[in-house]
Amino acid sequence: MNVIIIGGGPAGCEAAYRLAQEGIKIDLIEKENTTGGNLNNWYQLFPDRKNARDITEKLKNNLDHPNITLHLDTEAVEMSKNETGKYTVTLSDKSLLSADALLLTTGFRLFDAHRKEEYGYGIYNHVITSVELENLFTNHSLTLADGKQPQRIGFIHCVGSRDEKVCNYHCSKLCCITAVKQAIEARELLPDAEIFCFYMDMRMFGPGYEELYRDAQEKYDIKFVRGRLSEASENISKQLVIKVEDTLVGKPLKMTLDLMVLMIGMEASEGSRKAAAQLSLGLSPNGFIRPADPHYGTNLTEKEGIFVAGCSTSPMNLTDTLADARSAACNITAYLKKSGNA
């Protein structure tokens, strides 16, 4: 019995390892030259500030298993079900794989901040994304393009999420807690800087998130302003000038910033959309793959033998992604036993 997994991010790696432990042969397909997916862009995780590299290394080490064949720099070009009931996948290297079940762990893509032109990303030097800031933290540095350290920093929540203008109505779930974590990290590097978070609603859904939010206010003096950015420009001193309405007091605000960080959200990946089209799977209104049932079939699809896990179905944090991958592995194992392939 064997399973093909499309996507070598955290969900794909975790599911591959769990299935391999059950004696199932796995072909893990990853289009990049390394596994880990978007987790490779992260420095520290929330809420415990654990080094993300510890997790990526553990996931990679788990793939050193005799039942796992890893295909890097490889894409699934075509996927279908043949007359024998097996799933076949044609790879970009022209090889053909066949399996008893298919697991889609195609993850998510980050919102392209260029699409919000009014925020000035790609126009002004001191507008960056949350991922770019995370890379700066990896180097233990927070220095602007001109070599100076910012004295006033603004974090802009919900960039590309809950935004009708870009046709994204869903919440990406992680932007709020990411902003809180990054604001604390910025404070640790720049003890004298003024740091603001501009939010729509603070959605602290995970264990320890609310406590971290409280710490950000009480211990790290992070200022939280309820209001959405309407416009950003640049003055003659190369400072950013932003306009925001403080919706709690009902007054407009105009402020200068040395650095503005856009908390970019999640969108369905191209891999998810492509797989859904080839396999005739339904999509949810947010563009992610629609599971068979939102309560009791989150890893199942409308097609027998095709499973989903992780952010292929919705935005998830790392904890939920890994748990979802284990759940998918259990569902696949049960399916293979029921169908007589175990």
Instruction: Catalogue all structural domains in the chain, each as residue range(s) with its CATH number.
Output: 2-107+269-338 (3.50.50.60), 113-266 (3.50.50.60)
Please give the single-letter amino acid code of residue 33: N
What's the mean per-residue pLDDT of the chain? 94
Q: What pLDDT does 249 receive?
A: 80
pLDDT per position as a tens digit, 185-204: 999 999 999 999 999 999 99
Q: What pLDDT does 2 receive?
A: 95
Cα separation values, 269 from 90, 99, 221, 276, 317, Å: 20, 23, 36, 11, 16
Confidence check: pLDDT of 132 > 90: yes
pLDDT band at 138; cut points 50, 70, 90 = confident
Of residues 127 and 251, the one with the higher pLDDT is 127
pLDDT per position as a tens digit, 27-76: 999 999 999 999 999 999 999 999 999 999 999 999 999 999 999 999 99
Helices and strands in the chain: count of H runs, count of E runs: 7, 18
Q: What pLDDT does 302 receive?
A: 93
Q: What pLDDT does 338 receive?
A: 86
Q: What pLDDT does 6 receive?
A: 98
Per DSSP, which regions of the chain are E strands? Answer: 2-6, 25-29, 68-71, 76-81, 87-91, 96-99, 101-104, 108-110, 127-129, 152-159, 194-199, 223-226, 229-234, 240-246, 251-257, 259-264, 266-268, 306-308
Q: What pLDDT does 151 receive?
A: 95
Q: What pLDDT does 208 receive?
A: 94
pLDDT per position as a tens digit, 161-190: 999 999 999 999 999 999 999 999 999 999
pLDDT band at 339; cut points 50, 70, 90 = confident
Q: What pLDDT does 342 receive?
A: 56
Q: What pLDDT does 182 receive?
A: 97
What percent of the chain stands above pLDDT 90? 87
Tell me if 223 sits within 8 A of 213, measured CB to CB: no
- Phi, psi angles (nearest 5°) of residue 284: -75, 165
Cα separation values, 70 from 7, 53, 104, Å: 10, 20, 15
Average pLDDT over residues 288-301: 96
Of residues 251 and 109, the one with the higher pLDDT is 109
CA dihedral sign, ordered 329, 177, 262, 116: positive
Confidence check: pLDDT of 133 > 70: yes
pTM score, whole prediction: 0.94
